[in-house]
Chains A and B, each alone.
With several copies, the nearest count.
Chain A
Amino acid sequence: MEYIYASLLLHAGKKEITEEAVKNILTAAGIDVDEVRVKAVVAALKEVNIDEVLKNATAMPVAAAPAAA
């Protein structure tokens, strides 16, 4: 999930999600960067309305599951 965290960090800070920016963050965190994955995530996010997704994340009724013990 590192790439998602980095992207949402940028999103929360109202910064553009670019390959460069994601790589900078991961590097600053001391995490090895997988170029392919960065590319894939950044490209995929371009097609998504993040605010919309986050709205659903908080609003959506989730399946009640018996809590894992």
Chain B
Amino acid sequence: MSIVEERKIPRWKLDEVSELEEKLKNSSTIMIADIQGFPTDKLHEIRKKLRGIAEIKVTKNTLFTIAAKRAGIDLSKIEGYITGSNAFIFSNDNPFVISIFLSKFKLKRFPVPGDKADEEVVIPAGDTGMTAGPILSTFGKLKVQTKVQDGKVHVVKDTLIAKPGDPIPAEAAPILQKLGIMPVYVKLRLKAAYHQGLLIPVSELEINLDTYRSMINEAFRNSLFLGVEIAYPVPEVLKLTLSKAHMRALALAGEAGFLTPDTASAVLSRAVSKAYAVLSAISGKVDLGVEVPKQPEQ
């Protein structure tokens, strides 16, 4: 960039580059989000929510690139993402923390034609506040039962007009607007994070907490089973080991038919359950006048 050209650059651009450079230098995490078609008011909402955790800035790719270069960012890692309309997030937090944070709050909007519902769209029963008129036929098309009371449209009962994933009927839009129903989610589309020289693409950035819950569950279950198996000497685990040993003993007594007063219940029950199993296997053909016990509902 020549000095001559730089002189032509408006002051605000120079200021913005300096500001960006400063942010880049002071942030361990930089995230790039696609804001093509993203509603500006929603971006404000996000900015408010992120306050104290991260800063979000919309700027031109060229300015960001210059600033990044000046801040010593390895551009080769991120330049592939700096296309289209972007917002840049600056933070000193773990990029996954930001990603989870962003995924946690649902931003909603009114539908536009062609939108699919992200949640159930229900027209609630009651006064819609809408004046009876041509709108009645729209309700009719949506198969929403209405009646007119004091000149206003009343919906007779809660009516589902779209399930999650269903396209939202275009004619419903004005009604939803009027009723304040926003069944479409707006999500900031993260593209990548740059964190301490590492590039984390969105595929890794998106965290499914349920997966982690089930991993913990599995790890714990594994540990518990192993603990029980080796009689890990802490009371909570030994209780389970004792139970297991005892159940094994009862099962063995039952299967072997080794009957003593303390195994009698197990042995007789086992024999009876076998008898009932046989009985039920032939119950369609033979009536022995004995009821096969029904399995209780779980």
A contacts B: CB pair < 8 Å: yes
Q: Between A and B, how many residue pairs show CB distances below 8 Å?
A: 392
Interface residues on B, range: 35 or more
- Give the residues in chain B near A59, CB-CB below 8 Å: 273, 293
A56 to B264, CA, bound (A): 12
Q: In the bound complex, do residue A36 and residue B217 qualify as a contact, i.e. CB atoms below 8 Å apart?
A: no
A59 to B280, CA, bound (A): 15
Q: In the bound complex, do residue A7 and residue B293 qualify as a contact, i.e. CB atoms below 8 Å apart?
A: no
Q: In the bound complex, do residue B226 and residue A4 qualify as a contact, i.e. CB atoms below 8 Å apart?
A: yes
A67 to B274, CA, bound (A): 9
A28 to B246, CA, bound (A): 20
- Give the residues in chain B near A4, CB-CB below 8 Å: 212, 215-216, 218-219, 223, 226-227, 231-232, 238, 241-242, 245, 249-250, 252-253, 257-259, 263, 267-268, 271, 275, 278-279, 288
Q: In the bound complex, do residue A53 and residue B288 qualify as a contact, i.e. CB atoms below 8 Å apart?
A: no
- Does A26 belong to the interface (CB within 8 Å)? no
A47 to B231, CA, bound (A): 12
Interface residues in B15-58 by Cβ distance below 8 A to A read: none
- Does A40 belong to the interface (CB within 8 Å)? yes
- Give the residues in chain B near A44, CB-CB below 8 Å: 96, 100, 207, 209, 212, 230-235, 238, 256-261, 263-264, 282, 285-286
- Given B235, B266, B268, which contacts A47 in the complex, CB threshold below 8 Å? B235
Q: In the bound complex, do residue B100 and residue A43 qualify as a contact, i.e. CB atoms below 8 Å apart?
A: yes
Q: In the bound complex, do residue B248 and residue A57 qualify as a contact, i.e. CB atoms below 8 Å apart?
A: yes
- Given A5, A19, A53, which contacts B243 in the complex, CB threshold below 8 Å? A53
Q: Is the interface of B mostly helix, strand, loop or mixed?
A: helix
- Give the residues in chain B near A5, CB-CB below 8 Å: 219, 223, 245, 249, 271, 275
Q: What is the chain A residue whose CB lies nearest that of B267?
A: A4
A36 to B277, CA, bound (A): 21
Known contacts being A36-B204, A44-B207, A44-B259, is A54 close to B296, with CB within 8 Å? no
Q: In the bound complex, do residue B251 and residue A60 qualify as a contact, i.e. CB atoms below 8 Å apart?
A: yes
- Given B222, B224, B248, B261, which contacts A48 in the complex, CB threshold below 8 Å? B261
- Given A40, A58, A68, which contacts B250 in the complex, CB threshold below 8 Å? A58
- Given A8, A19, A46, A67, which contacts B223 in the complex, CB threshold below 8 Å? A8
Q: In the bound complex, do residue B97 and residue A37 qualify as a contact, i.e. CB atoms below 8 Å apart?
A: no
- Does B95 belong to the interface (CB within 8 Å)? yes
Taking beta carbons and an 8 Å cutoff, which residues of B are in contact with A? 94-97, 99-100, 104, 195-196, 198, 200, 204, 207, 209-210, 212-235, 237-282, 284-288, 290, 292-293, 295-296, 298
